[in-house]
Amino acid sequence: MTTFLGIDAGGSKTLVLLARDGEVIARASGAPGAVRPGRALQAATKIAAAARQALTQAGLLQADVLVAGAAGVGREPERTELREGLRNERLATRNIVTGDLDIALEAAFGDRPGIVLISGTGSVAVARAPDGTVHRRGGLGWQIGDEGSGFALGRAALVAIGKAHDGRGPATALTESLLKGGPAPDFDSLIRWAGSADPPEIAALAPRVYAAAALGDEVARTIIGTAADELAQLVASLTPLFPPRKPIPLAIAGGNLDPGRGLRETALARLGAVSRFSVREARLEPVEGALAMARRAATG
């Protein structure tokens, strides 16, 4: 029987599904496997560690087909380097590397048209138009873009705390939240921590923004509202690809858009003013798209 590895290598974690024919037989998660320029081999090592967890659970040494959807492989050099790195790890007989957006579209719509909005450590929107062409907006990284992402929320919280400390902005519950059980015990330590923190560490502050907003903190609520506006703009820039006056299929992914966190509901409200959408309510798991692509590769 044929075995398949589907992998979602993102900026906050790597998720793995192992299936035998039509049945998932193991699941695993591991360290972030997103690819940074010149570091594809390091990403391959992290992805391989998570994949081996799944293989070990099933009592296997290798799968037949592996599909890894990874953040950061939009350019061919990174894609080729990651594919070679995974081949050297001997996880599967056949190794296919594609982008994280490709597996998200596959999981949401198969080969049908629609838009996927993702807000995790970073943010991006991708659409498959009715003519089959694929278009993306955002996903430019924390230095240029990632508006409405976990990184953007975390950084906005740090900025708000700095302004409150200086008296240039309103007091906020975020100050106590980040200095009490947060990454630093006092404001000076927070400055030093922020100076060396990487994007996933900054993004990890986002839940504190949601918690403060839920308790009524206006600064946190404003941060969430701004993030929702940015995400709505990403999607709005893709709507001209679709016929007017017809609902556009929309799927949402990424931990920041989980139900109950506040950002999902606010973003959907903003999008309602942009166009008509048919929102996929089921949780989107891009790793399932990777598994579906692996199965198709084996039969195609």
pLDDT 10s digits, 244-262: 888 999 999 888 888 888 8
Give pTM, 2 decimals.
0.84
- Inter-residue contact 254 to 120 (CB < 8 Å): yes
Residue 111 lies in a domain: no
Mean pLDDT of 120-141: 89
Question: b or e along 68-85 (b: 16 or more beta carbons within 10 Å of the residue's beta carbon)?
Answer: bbbbbbeeeebbebbbeb
pLDDT at 17 over 80: yes
What tens digit of pLDDT does each residue of 63-110 get? 999 999 998 887 788 889 999 999 999 999 999 999 888 999 999 998
Residue 248 lies in a domain: no
- Kindly report the CATH number assigned to the domain that includes residue 89: 3.30.420.40
Number of domains in the chain: 1
Residue 89 lies in a domain: yes
pLDDT tier for residue 281 given thresholds of 50, 70 and 90 = confident
pLDDT at 234 over 90: yes
Q: Which tokens belong to 202?
A: 């900054």
**Range(s) of the domain holding residue 87:** 3-105+286-299
pLDDT at 215 over 90: yes
Residue 196 lies in a domain: no
Residue 194 lies in a domain: no
pLDDT at 143: 79
260 conformational bin, left if phi > 0, alpha if psi -120 to 50, beta if neither? left
pLDDT tier for residue 300 given thresholds of 50, 70 and 90 = low
pLDDT tier for residue 183 given thresholds of 50, 70 and 90 = confident
The more confidently predicted of residues 68 and 12 is: 68
pLDDT at 273: 80
- Inter-residue contact 142 to 199 (CB < 8 Å): yes
